[in-house]
Chain A
Amino acid sequence: MHPTDEELVKAYLEEDDQEAFRTLVERHQEKIFGYLMGMVKNRAVANDLFQETFLRVINAMQERRGSYTHQGQWLSWVMRIARNAAIDHIRKRKKWADVSQDEDEEGRSFWDTLEGEEPAADEQLHHAEQKEWLDEHIQQLSPEQREVLLLRQETDLTFREIAELTDVSINTALGRMRYALKNLRRMMEESGKTSLAETGDQ
C-alpha cells in the first residue's frame, strides 16, 4: 500500500523520516523536472532550478509558519515554487518581459509571429527524433500555451489546478491548451511531418 503525499510529509516532519522525503521527491521528480526542462530547455539549468525548488520546499516545510498549509495539495504547492523559480530565470534572460502578452481572438500572441526553427522537410523521424522534434516545436509556442501544455503533460495537474497556479480562469487555461495542441498540429502539417501526424490515427 503506497502512502499518500500527506502521510509522507507528516512522517518527514514529525518523525524525521528521511526516506519518506526521498520517496516524495522520487515520486514526483519526473513531473517537476519535465516541466522545468520544457520551460528552460537546458538540462543544466533545469537541474539547478530543480535543486533550488526543493531547497525552498525544505525550508518552507521546516518553518512553523511556512507557506505549506497541509491541505493535501503538496504537488500543487511544490509546482508553484518550481514555476516561480522558472519564471524568475526566464525573466532574467529577458525572454518573458517587455513583450505584449495580449492574445488575439484565436489565442495567438506576439510569440506566434516568431519564425520557428523547423527541421529539414525531408528528414525522417524515428522515435527519438520525434521526441526531439516535439521538444523543439513546443518552444515555439507562446509562453502561456507552452506552460499550460507542459503543466498538463508533465505534472498531471488538472486544468483547475493549472488555472489556480497560473491565476487565470479554467476556460482560459483550457483555451490555451487547445491552441497549443492546434498550433503543434499546424506545425506538423506545415513541416510535412504527415507521418508524425497520422501515427495516432491508426
Chain B
Amino acid sequence: MDKELRIIRHLYGEDEHPEEVSRLLASDDALRKEYHELRVVKQQLDGRGRQRPDAGVLAHITEAAAQASTEGTEGTTSRRDRPPVARQRHRRRQRIGIAAAVAVVLMVSIGLWQWPGTESGGPAQASKSESVAVATDPSSASAGESSSASGSNLPSWDEGDDVVRLYRYIETLQARSSPAHWDSAEMPIQSVSQMPSNR
C-alpha cells in the first residue's frame, strides 16, 4: 500500500502497525507535512457534531416496528409466511399448458378437416363432389382428367348403386376415348343415351 494511503488509515486509527508509520513520518518531510495538514482537517470535521432526525420520525419508526412485530405473531406462534409464490407459478404453468394443448387440438382438427380423403367432410368433400360432377358431365372434355376412381377405389361413403354405376360408366368412357382435353372433339351423342338413369 502506498505510504500516502497508509497515513489515512493511521489518521483514522486503522493502521495495524502504527510504529512503522511513525518511522515513515520521521524520515519523510513531505509525508509528515501532508499528514499534519490532513489531521487539521479531520479535527475540524470531528468538531462538527452529530445530527439527529426529528423526534416524530423516530416515533413513527418504533410504531412501525411494533406493528410489524404484532402482525407477525398475531394468532400464531410463528411468523406469517410469504405468499406461496411457487404455487402461483405452477398454476400459471398449468394454464399455459392447457392453452397450448387446446391450440394443438384445434390445429389438428382443422388440418384433418382440410385434408382430402378424410371422413370429416368440409372442403375435401366439396372438392370431391366437384370432381364427380365434372366426371359425369358428358360435355366436359376433361373427363379423362377427373378422378379415375375404379370400383375398388371408391370411398366408403360412395357405395350407392347409382354411384357405382356412374363410376363404371366413367371408366368405360375413359377406355373408349383418347386423352380428353377441353379442346378435343365432343363426345358422340350416342354416349348420352347410354348413361345410367337416376331413378
Which residue of B9, B40, B58 is within 8 Å of A159 (Cβ)? B9
Shortest Cβ gap from A164 to chain B (Å): 14
Among the 9-residue stretches A28-36, A69-77, A86-94, the one with 4 or more Cβ atoms under 8 Å from chain B is A28-36
Residue A184 at the B interface, CB < 8 A? yes
Check A196/B44 contact, CB under 8 A, given A25-B58, A62-B72, A158-B14: yes
Shortest Cβ gap from B94 to chain A (Å): 25
Residues of the B chain whose Cβ atoms lie less than 8 Å from the Cβ of A174: 1, 5, 8-9
Q: When the two chains form their complex, are residues B69 and A18 in contact, meaning their CB atoms are under 8 A apart?
A: yes
Which residue of B14, B40, B60 is within 8 Å of A201 (Cβ)? B40
In Å, the complex CA distance between A184 and B66 comes to: 43
Name the prevailing secondary structure of the B interface residues.
helix
Among the 9-residue stretches B46-54, B121-129, B171-179, the one with 4 or more Cβ atoms under 8 Å from chain A is B46-54
Name the prevailing secondary structure of the A interface residues.
helix
Shortest Cβ gap from B143 to chain A (Å): 80
Residue B68 at the A interface, CB < 8 A? yes
**Interface 1/0s, chain B 133-152, versus A by CB < 8 A?**
00000000000000000000
Residue B62 at the A interface, CB < 8 A? yes
In Å, the complex CA distance between A58 and B91 comes to: 31
Among the 9-residue stretches B17-25, B31-39, B101-109, B190-198, the one with 4 or more Cβ atoms under 8 Å from chain A is B31-39
Chain A residues touching B, range: 35 or more
Shortest Cβ gap from A108 to chain B (Å): 15
Check A62/B9 contact, CB under 8 A, given A12-B65, A47-B54: no
Residue A100 at the B interface, CB < 8 A? no
Residues of the A chain whose Cβ atoms lie less than 8 Å from the Cβ of B46: 153
In Å, the complex CA distance between A65 and B38 comes to: 44
- A187 closest partner in B (C-beta): B41
* Interface residues contributed by chain B, number (CB under 8 Å): 44
Check A51/B60 contact, CB under 8 A, given A21-B65, A65-B82, A199-B40: yes
Check A51/B38 contact, CB under 8 A, given A153-B45, A174-B8, A177-B8: no
Q: When the two chains form their complex, are residues B82 and A63 in contact, meaning their CB atoms are under 8 A apart?
A: yes
Check A131/B41 contact, CB under 8 A, given A18-B65, A51-B60, A55-B61: no
Residue A135 at the B interface, CB < 8 A? yes
**Interface 1/0s, chain B 53-80, versus A by CB < 8 A?**
1100110111011101110110000010
- A177 closest partner in B (C-beta): B8
Shortest Cβ gap from B62 to chain A (Å): 5
Check A131/B47 contact, CB under 8 A, given A62-B69, A62-B79, A185-B37: yes
Residue B12 at the A interface, CB < 8 A? yes
In Å, the complex CA distance between A12 and B66 comes to: 9
Which B residues are closer than 8 A to A by beta carbons? 1-2, 4-5, 8-9, 12, 14, 34, 36-54, 57-58, 60-62, 64-66, 68-70, 72-73, 79, 81-82
Given A54-B64, A152-B12, A158-B14, 16 new contacts (CB under 8 A): A31-B50, A51-B57, A58-B68, A62-B79, A64-B82, A131-B49, A159-B8, A159-B9, A159-B14, A178-B5, A181-B38, A185-B38, A185-B40, A185-B41, A197-B41, A200-B40
11 sampled A-B residue pairs with Cβ under 8 A: A16-B70, A34-B50, A34-B51, A50-B57, A55-B61, A58-B65, A131-B49, A159-B8, A196-B44, A197-B37, A200-B39
